[in-house]
Amino acid sequence: MNHNGELGDFLRSRRARLRPENAGAAFGGGPRRVPGLRREEVAHLAGVSTDYYARLERGRHPHVSETVLEAVARALRLDDTERGYLFELARHRTPGRRRPVRAPRVRQPVHQMLDVLNDVSPAVVLNHRSDVLGANHLAKAVITDFDALPHRDRNLARFVLLHPAARDLYTDWGQVAETFAASLRLAAGRHPDDRVLNELVGELSIKVPEFSAWWAGHRVDQCAHGTQRLDHPVVGELTLSYETLALPADPDQSIVLYTTEPGSASAETLRLLASWTTPTNTHAAAPPRHRPTDEEQTAD
């Protein structure tokens, strides 16, 4: 990743979305050649010279202080995630010898935690790339059996964006897919030298028509929590809330935990799916969701 170019693109995208009337300062009227704020207006709000900000946006200021970055973040009204992303892009990196990448491993107590959740909540362990490092049986039943996929395909973002079944599974596929694109962009800012991540982004840019536009929008998202609506091929409609819980002992790993509203139809549906897919009942196949044919409907 070219951090200088990414930094400039990110600043321009944030500047373009901020309207002068909402920027917290009065600027002159008249025709505007660019959407959003001009460079000199951002510089004014940040308390730096226009030349300084212009060089920062062009990637020609390799050593920028945290004070200036904080001022720019305030001027552009960045949220906490965007602010962290700005600092990652602006951080000066000295080229050096790359360390060998070790295969991530999930500790046994974390696997045990997934098993404990088996009957109540789907749960997966992900790294920054959204590689699925572990999943309980209920998560495999709700989303897909990641263990049955080729190793390189055991990635939640790849599944959502590339697997044909995902477009049928996620009712709001576009929204879910765009959020994963924003998560990958955040990860790319934090791990610019991750070859596997960069290859994944390149593949998605080629194979998913919508992805390039999402990537160019420079949205960043931690995917910390949210709601997803599913149309499951066996049990039908499901509404799941998810929370992402960091594992402090494993800095590059987090657990994504899915839950349902207590007493809701989705809670009952998830309970039934869990009863069909629990390891002790794997011999009992879950009944497929049945849609009567025209002949069956007219037979009565």
CB neighbourhood size of 296 (10 A): 10
| Mean pLDDT value of segment 289-294 | 43
Of the pLDDT bands very low, low, confident and very high (cuts 50, 70, 90), residue 286 is very low
Provide the 8-state DSSP code for 223: -
Please, what's the b/e burial string for 277-288 (b: 16 or more CB within 10 A of its CB; e: otherwise)? Answer: beeeeeeeeeee
Global pTM?
Answer: 0.81
| Mean pLDDT value of segment 254-268 | 97
Percent over 70 (pLDDT), the chain: 83
- All domains in the chain, ordered by first residue: 3-24+34-90 (1.10.260.40), 108-281 (3.30.450.180)
User: Does pLDDT of 103 surpass 70?
Assistant: no
H or E element in which residue 26 lies: none
Of the pLDDT bands very low, low, confident and very high (cuts 50, 70, 90), residue 94 is very low
The torsion angles phi and psi of 258, rounded to 5 degrees, stand at -105, 135
User: Does pLDDT of 290 surpass 90?
Assistant: no
Which among 122, 203, 194 is positioned nearest to 162, based on CA atoms? 203
pLDDT at 214: 96
CB 8 within 8 A of CB 58: yes
pLDDT at 30: 60
| Mean pLDDT value of segment 38-44 | 90
User: Does pLDDT of 203 surpass 70?
Assistant: yes
pLDDT at 150: 94
3-class SS of residue 136:
coil
Q: Of 14-23, 168-177, 217-226, which range is least confident?
A: 14-23
